[in-house]
């Protein structure tokens, strides 16, 4: 299969302009691409337009955008409520809500408007890519493209092949990720939750277990985590940290004793089930592990953005992406 190269004169289509889609669109704009943003709701299309000045300021503050690319975002962005607007795109990114049937239908509808060589990246958080490919006429062009919020400044991008994704598609996806200033984490296999969510979910399960079993209150769990993992996480992953903070033998001995006492149930814990029952949205509806009034909600939103911008600057200063790209694991 022949794939067009993603050059800067090509259009990137982003379908679904919620918080994730907005960051994705802004990221592409910050790297000089023309973007067509598609959302079935006008309100969300307009939210993207009004988000542009803030996103551009973030990109400049984090140092992820050349001054030349800071211009003409408005003219390089087209908005539409009609999926047919993807027809001239060089690559399409899907970012609609996390519902499997809706994503599958959308991917199949997209194929009616774009030629066979145009790739489709899905920003699913956890669905197997192979399931999303099922029913597509050209499944070889579909891959997982998992972003994080704020997509315009983070380095994070997980790229996952489904069983039917072509090697050429994955090569082009990696190249495109690098053009966007990302440090792509490329999976060798399709697996639910990909990498970061699987690692994070194991951690969340243990945190909830500690809380539910009365070992510590939420404040203590937070302080312990922030002031330990928070110190090294922007620089090291969980494997590197074992090497450099004592060596694998030390960690293995210690883990051996604790493993039998850790949460390992495949059932959702009662606290998490109650969050589903109450539709807990944290600061948005004040249902969560902590209480939020309006000021508290704003404070956490602000802290989150500040932390992301600072971390990106720190990573670019101390861990250049070309160094991490050449980083070979010993095993
Ligand atoms: N929340 C996170 O931190 C996070 C991180 C990585 C990936 N994701 C994934 O990104 C995706 C989007 O997340 P979000 O939080 O931005 O979602 P969201 O529900 O806030 O926004 C989705 C947008 O898609 C639009 N939409 C729905 N169906 C559509 C269709 N058929 N055509 C065009 N537009 C349509 C909606 O109007 C809405 O504006 C989800 O799959 C989510 O799991 C989320």
Between strands 11-15 and 142-146, the pairing is unpaired
Task: Tell me if 154 CB under 6 Å of ligand 1.
Answer: no
The answer to whether residues 244 and 330 touch, using CB atoms and an 8 Å cutoff, is: no
Closest ligand 1 atom, CA of 94? 11
Per the prediction, the chain carries an average pLDDT of 94
What pLDDT was estimated at residue 291? 98
- Report domain 11-186's class: alpha beta
Q: Write b or e for each residue in 191-225: b if 16 or more Cβ atoms lie within 10 A of its Cβ, otherwise e.
A: eebbeeeeeeeeeebebbbbbeeeeeeeeebeeee
Task: Tell me if 98 CB under 6 Å of ligand 1.
Answer: yes
Mean pLDDT of 33-53: 97
Considering the entire predicted model, what is its pTM?
0.94
Domain with CATH 1.10.1040.10 in the chain: 196-324
Fold (CATH) for 196-324: 1.10.1040
CA 328 to centroid of ligand 1, rounded, Å: 34
- Local confidence band at 167 (pLDDT 50, 70, 90 cut-offs): very high
Count other Cβ atoms within 10 Å, centred on residue 330.
5
The answer to whether residues 193 and 178 touch, using CB atoms and an 8 Å cutoff, is: no
Between strands 185-186 and 89-94, the pairing is unpaired
Alpha helical stretches, state H, the chain = 19-30, 42-62, 73-76, 100-110, 129-133, 167-179, 196-212, 218-226, 229-232, 238-244, 248-258, 270-278, 294-318, 321-325
Angle between helical axes of 19-30 and 42-62 (0-180°, round to 10): 50
> Which of 237, 316, 324 is CA-nearest to residue 59?
316
Q: Is the pLDDT of residue 3 over 50?
A: no
Mean pLDDT of 209-224: 98
Task: Supply the residue whose CA is at minimum distance from atom 4 of ligand 1.
Answer: 148
CA 191 to centroid of ligand 1, rounded, Å: 20
Task: Tell me if 176 CB under 6 Å of ligand 1.
Answer: no
CA 320 to centroid of ligand 1, rounded, Å: 31
Task: Tell me if 181 CB under 6 Å of ligand 1.
Answer: no
Task: Tell me if 282 CB under 6 Å of ligand 1.
Answer: no
The partner residues of 122 in beta bridges, in order of sequence, read 94, 144
- Local confidence band at 284 (pLDDT 50, 70, 90 cut-offs): very high
Closest ligand 1 atom, CA of 109? 31
């Amino acid at each position: 299969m022949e794939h067009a190269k993603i050059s800067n004169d090509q259009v990137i289509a982003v379908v679904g302009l919620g918080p994730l889609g907005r960051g994705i669109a802004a990221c592409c704009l910050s790297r000089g691409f023309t973007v067509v943003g598609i959302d079935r709701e006008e309100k969300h299309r307009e939210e993207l337009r009004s988000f542009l000045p803030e996103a551009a300021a973030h990109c400049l503050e984090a140092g992820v955008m050349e001054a030349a690319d800071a211009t003409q975002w408005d003219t390089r962005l087209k908005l539409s409520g009609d999926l047919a607007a993807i027809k001239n795109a060089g690559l399409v990114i899907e970012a609609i809500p996390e519902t499997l049937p809706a994503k599958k239908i959308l991917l199949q509808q997209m194929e009616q408007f774009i030629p066979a060589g145009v790739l489709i990246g899905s920003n699913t958080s956890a669905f197997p890519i192979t399931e999303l490919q099922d029913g597509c006429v050209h499944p070889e062009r579909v891959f997982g493209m998992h972003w994080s919020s704020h997509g315009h400044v983070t380095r994070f991008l997980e790229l996952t092949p489904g069983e039917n994704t072509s090697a050429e598609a994955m090569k082009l996806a990696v190249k495109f990720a690098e053009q966007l200033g990302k440090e792509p984490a490329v999976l060798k296999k399709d697996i639910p939750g990909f990498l970061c969510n699987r690692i994070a979910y194991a951690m969340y399960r243990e945190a909830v277990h500690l809380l539910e079993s009365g070992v510590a209150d939420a404040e203590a769990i937070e302080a312990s985590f922030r002031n330990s993992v928070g110190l090294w996480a922007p620089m090291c992953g969980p494997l590197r940290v074992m090497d450099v903070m004592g060596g694998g033998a030390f960690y293995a001995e210690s883990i051996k004793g604790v493993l039998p006492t850790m949460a390992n149930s495949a059932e959702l814990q009662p606290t998490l089930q109650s969050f589903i029952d109450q539709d807990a949205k944290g600061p948005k509806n004040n249902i969560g592990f902590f209480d939020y009034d309006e000021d508290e909600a704003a404070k956490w939103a602000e802290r989150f953005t500040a932390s992301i911008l600072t971390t990106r600057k720190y990573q670019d200063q101390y861990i250049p992406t070309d160094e991490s790209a050449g980083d070979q694991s010993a095993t």
